[in-house]
Amino acid sequence: MTTLPPALTYHLGDRTVRRVGYGAMQLAGPGVFGPPRDHASALAVLRAAIAAGVNHIDTSDFYGPHVTNKLIREALAPYPDDLVLVTKLGARRSSDAAWLPAMSADELAQGVQDNLTNLGLEQLDVVNLRSMFSPHGPAEGSIEAPLAVLARLQEQGLIRHIGVSNVTPTQVAEARAICPIVCVQNMYNIAHRQDDAMIDQLAADGIAYVPFFPLGGFNLLQSQKLDAIAAALGTTPLQVAQAWLLRRSPNILLIPGTSSLAHLQQNLAVADLVLDDVTMAALNAL
């Protein structure tokens, strides 16, 4: 049984974006630290993404640090009217490339200014507060204080919309009681379904969900089965994993990242990959 492809746009705050976007993290150097291996290629990938219709780019000034935002500005400014740039705060990089929390009021305010400067903007479209209570994934802890800082910066006109990242359902509920939340960004994929109930609730409330690591944490058996399904479809496991996400829920927005033009085209082709009900059932069984 063949089904129709999923709708390929969704709203992000008050903007409509294509559900296959682009994540800029991999444009930085190894370990998301330092300059890109090939500066010209990084610019070319960004320009090719926009030329192909991408209008949602995920970035952060702690990628590099400061590297990806400067590349985005160099490649794309002045920005297309429909482009939504989503950044995130809550972390910083040490001189040895470690990821450290940066959730104080001063750090968040400086982070907003750094993003504005390096992207060349007067207002940030969307800022995600990334919870840093644990380096290994979401962990409980109140995010009221840092989120209140972002809400005040939003009132000042520096931020248009606010989202949250690396969060638990309790933290999402806490955030929504403080200010309007337009997106949640967490690790989620075929093998890691801990956010199933959250995704369904967010979809019912018209809030976008942005998964990262579409192949993260698969065990060997799951990987083998995914490889077999992809081979039967004549595509790659990553493309199948992303196509599954598109069909999983209409509020899911993809942000696959790459520094390769060839891989960019593979990622964008996911929008045309239709998974029938039999394939979806096999993937859900993973």
Q: φ, ψ for residue 11 (rounded to 5)?
A: -95, 145
DSSP 74-93: HHHPSPPTT-EEEEEESEEE
- Give dist(CA 112, CA 108) in Å, integer: 6
- Give dist(CA 264, CA 20) in Å, integer: 11
- Give dist(CA 224, CA 118) in Å, integer: 42
181's CB contacts (< 8 A; 6+ apart) are 162, 163, 164, 172, 175, 207
Residue 32 carries which DSSP code?
A: G
Torsion of CA 123, 12, 91, 32, to 10 degrees: -100
For the annotated catalytic residues, the residue numbers are 63
- Give dist(CA 127, CA 85) in Å, integer: 9
- Give dist(CA 84, CA 121) in Å, integer: 12
Strand partners, 124: 159
Per residue in 151-166, is it b (16+ CB within 10 Å) or e — as a string? bebbeeebbbbbbbbb
Quote the distance between the C-alpha of residue 154 and its chain's center. Answer: 21
* Tokens standing for residue 108: 């968040």
